[in-house]
Amino acid sequence: MKFQIIESPNSYLLLELNKGEKIIIEKGCLIYSDGEYDFENKIEVESYKNIISKIFGGKSLAYNIYTANEKLKMGFSAKDTAEIFSLEIDKQTPILFNASQHFARTINIQIKTGGLNQEFLVKTEGSGILFLKAYGHIIEKIVESSKPIYVDEDSLIAFEEGIEYKWITGGIKKLITSGEGGLYEFSGNGKIWIQSKSKIEFKKD
């Protein structure tokens, strides 16, 4: 598989697939295909906690799996104003990310519930390419210090599992009842990906 992300604003994902190659992608994102393909729905409901994660993340419970029946090119775009970017994932360094920002992934990556009481983030397993959605500019920061970095919860996209982190807020009950969010505190060693805007900001425009 080859891919290209046509640059922002209004980026889209262009894939070149050989016969038999597959891609897992959010439903309703296909723009075009210049060849024949099959697709099936993939339902990812493994537990009550997994369902909660998807509800809070605004994430669909189902994806489409596209399989190329011949060598072809396919174009996909986000259903809103989000930009698309890619991360190369290996099994030694899983990535935790906001469930609502999943866009697509190669077939060897699995998504599991994990992190922060296992109700707001999901985690990769396996190796491959993960495509995420983000708003505004995408900022990659490398943390190499015990001095913490604070990131607003609406700005966080993803981070490497090995980094030390905690969520500083009044807890889930306070978040639901008051409408107040929180901050992430990161320290140690690892990478963080941050967006300069949020989905909420784009809705207001």
In the chain (205 residues long), the average pLDDT of successive 10-residue segments reads: 88 97 94 96 59 49 90 95 94 89 94 63 92 93 88 90 82 48 87 85 50
Give the domain extent around 20: 2-204
Q: What is the CATH number of the domain that holds 72?
A: 3.60.160.10
Q: What is the pLDDT of residue 121?
A: 80
Tell me the pTM. 0.83
Is residue 97 classed as helix, strand or coil in its secondary structure? strand
Cα 136 to the center of its chain, rounded Å: 15
Q: How far apart are CA 131 and CA 94, in angstroms?
A: 14
- Domain count for the chain, please give it: 1
